[in-house]
Amino acid sequence: MAAKLQASWKSYRHKESKSMQYLSSFDYWQIFSLLVLLGTGLLFIYSTGVQSGNEIFFKRQLFWVAFSIPVYVIFSHVNVRIWEVIAEPFFIISLILLVIVLIFGVKISGARRWLDLYFFNFQPSELAKLSLVIALAKLLSLQKFNVNNFSALCMIAGLVLLPFVLIFIEPDLGSALLLLPCSGAMLLAAGLSRKWIFSLLGAFILLGGILTANEYFKIKPLLRSYHKARIMAFLDPEDAPRDMTYQQRQSELAVGSGGLYGKGVGKGTQHALGYLPQSAANNDFIFSVIAEEWGFFRSFGLLCIFLLLCLRILYTAYCTEDKFSCYTALGIGTLFFTQIFVNIGVNVGIAPVTGLVLPFVSYGGSFLIVGMISAGIVQAVWRSRSQD
């Protein structure tokens, strides 16, 4: 009898130890920051919906949040090695989707960026960002791959240019440009030498000068007219047409009018009076709504949550010894940080309007789902590192 009790006790302790090990494998700071951001997004999408008398956006976003959380949990349990195995087909599929959207995509305001999947419009460019990060991470982690070799850099350039060009011609310049900083960060982490760093910087400056001259003298313009108008409106807002700076000005007014403590949730006036339309207030310019209704202190707290999320992702990349996992987490973290920086920069007037959403806060299903998949992959990297 005593032997049976002792065996039962050992079995119980073993199961308890396994449970504790499983629970301790998660990065709860990342989970906390994601939940705060998702909750904040729902709160202010509801706020803008109530003010305009249209709550359908809140109901849709509530569905996407409820759907994305199990997606996050599932992908946080997927072995990171699987992503390394499927990197090539995943990248090819994302390129095929980018081609399909150019042919069959829903045309909105002159751009084909969305595929109509009946129950929602999906944006393939969001998937392309993640697929590029994973493909580039696999390439950089190959044992015999030397990032400082000219042929290797040409291979990387081709890998980046394929989705860049396809996204650019949708047109979606903002999303296309996001591919550059994340690729650059991964190259630096892979040990790109100073010689190549300065060479590439010089090449980018030269290329930028050529492209600027091409647009200025209208030799063979690549930018759409509204791209140029947005850039000129940012560089010289006083002389820009009023309709090109309207939303930017209203956004800045909303941010400034919030003061230190804000007007209260649901009591903002810029959106309620129609100065910020629903399509912008719950999406690209949601931070201006948050700043007006929450004020400086709580908006600053939200920025701290964003910073916490990005730092935890970068810390995950730093802690893992596996190269593929490190580069993948770094690429995802850089994508998030860049998009957060640009979106908030647009809202406060330090960046030109780009059409990039605020991660995990803005209305929309495409980025939310792909963003939660990406965060789930980073969580899987953390869990695999803690279980080693």
Is the distance from CB of 354 to CB of 174 less than 8 angstroms? yes
Confidence at residue 173, expressed as pLDDT on a 0 to 100 scale: 87
Q: Is the pLDDT of residue 225 over 80?
A: no
Region of poorest pLDDT, from 31-45, 262-276, 322-336: 262-276
Choice between 249 and 225, residue whose per-residue pLDDT is larger: 249
Confidence at residue 4, expressed as pLDDT on a 0 to 100 scale: 60
Residues 6+ away with beta carbon under 8 Å from 125: 98, 113, 163, 167, 170, 172, 175, 176
> What number is the average pLDDT over the span 370-376?
97
> What number is the average pLDDT over the span 186-213?
90
pLDDT tens digits for 110-150?
A: 788 889 887 778 999 999 999 999 999 999 999 889 999 99
pLDDT tens digits for 60-116?
A: 999 999 999 999 999 999 999 999 999 999 999 999 999 999 999 888 777 888 898
DSSP E strands in the chain: the ranges are 106-108, 111-116, 121-122
Q: Is the pLDDT of residue 14 over 60?
A: no
Confidence at residue 110, expressed as pLDDT on a 0 to 100 scale: 74
> What number is the average pLDDT over the span 298-320?
96
Q: Residue 111: beta bridge partners?
A: 108
Confidence at residue 240, expressed as pLDDT on a 0 to 100 scale: 67
Confidence at residue 300, expressed as pLDDT on a 0 to 100 scale: 96
| Percent share of the chain, pLDDT over 70 | 90
> What number is the average pLDDT over the span 315-339?
96
The 8-class DSSP code of residue 255 comes to H
Confidence at residue 387, expressed as pLDDT on a 0 to 100 scale: 55
C-alpha distances in angstroms, 10 versus 2, 20, 168, 182, 364? 12, 15, 61, 49, 50
**Average pLDDT score, the chain:** 88
C-alpha distances in angstroms, 238 versus 219, 235, 246, 257? 27, 9, 11, 21
Confidence at residue 90, expressed as pLDDT on a 0 to 100 scale: 97
The 8-class DSSP code of residue 274 comes to T
> What number is the average pLDDT over the span 21-45?
94
